[in-house]
Amino acid sequence: MTARRGETWAQEVLFRRHARMAIGLAHRLLPHDGDVDDLVQDCFVQALKRLHTLQNPQAFAAWLGSIVVHAVGKRLRRQKLLSRLGLRTPESIDNLSIASPTAPGEVVVELRRVYGVLASLPSEQRIALVLRRVDGMEIPQIADYMGLSMSTVKRRLKTAEEELERRR
């Protein structure tokens, strides 16, 4: 890949091809977070600098997705710590505005349910729940994105979905 050699135009093509995927993923994991653009920029810079380490260039999207997921996890843990120290207002997610105006009714209901519970979940449970319920990923893919074993992902999902059911 030309982008691996640091050619700017090729990097730009790669960016434009995957920018919306990365923005969308970050936004779904961190709704209403004003720093999502910074996070996406960080992820692309990291990915494009380390492009030579990617063994299968066709897997760029998944690789970038895992970078975004890791960055989100890191940010969530940091936010939680700051909240515990009283240095940050605890996150509140406006689950009523999460769905687009054209979304079908049942999807709106599902999105509101999921996003209504997110703020109360630990970061790994939260990410796993969004990847599963919103992005529709299968367990192995979630495990790849999160860098966890499939059994750990299943446990995280089970706990998160119990909380979802409890709030029903």
Residues that bind another protein (CB under 8 A): 2, 6, 8-9, 11-17, 19-21, 23-24, 27-28, 31, 37, 40-41, 44-45, 48-49, 97-104, 107-108, 110-111, 114, 133-138, 141
Alpha carbons 85 and 157: distance in angstroms, whole number: 28
Pick 7 or 84: Cβ nearer another protein: 7
State the nearest-atom distance from the C-beta of 17 to another protein, in Å.
Answer: 5
- 168: exposed, middle or buried (C-beta count within 10 Å: 0-12, 13-18, 19+)? exposed
Pick 92 or 106: Cβ nearer another protein: 106
Q: Which two tokens stand for residue 111?
A: 């999105």
What is the DSSP secondary-structure string of 67-96? Answer: HHHHHHHHHHHHHHHHHHTTSSPPP---TT
Pick 23 or 148: Cβ nearer another protein: 23
The angle formed by the CA atoms of residues 115, 90 and 158, to the nearest 5 degrees, is 40
Pick 38 or 81: Cβ nearer another protein: 38
The angle formed by the CA atoms of residues 127, 55 and 17, to the nearest 5 degrees, is 60
State the nearest-atom distance from the C-beta of 84 to another protein, in Å.
Answer: 28
Q: Tokens 């992820």 map to which residue? A: 43
Pick 23 or 54: Cβ nearer another protein: 23
Q: Which two tokens stand for residue 86?
A: 């009283």
State the nearest-atom distance from the C-beta of 137 to another protein, in Å.
Answer: 6
State the nearest-atom distance from the C-beta of 131 to another protein, in Å.
Answer: 9
State the nearest-atom distance from the C-beta of 142 to another protein, in Å.
Answer: 10
Q: Which two tokens stand for residue 159?
A: 């706990």
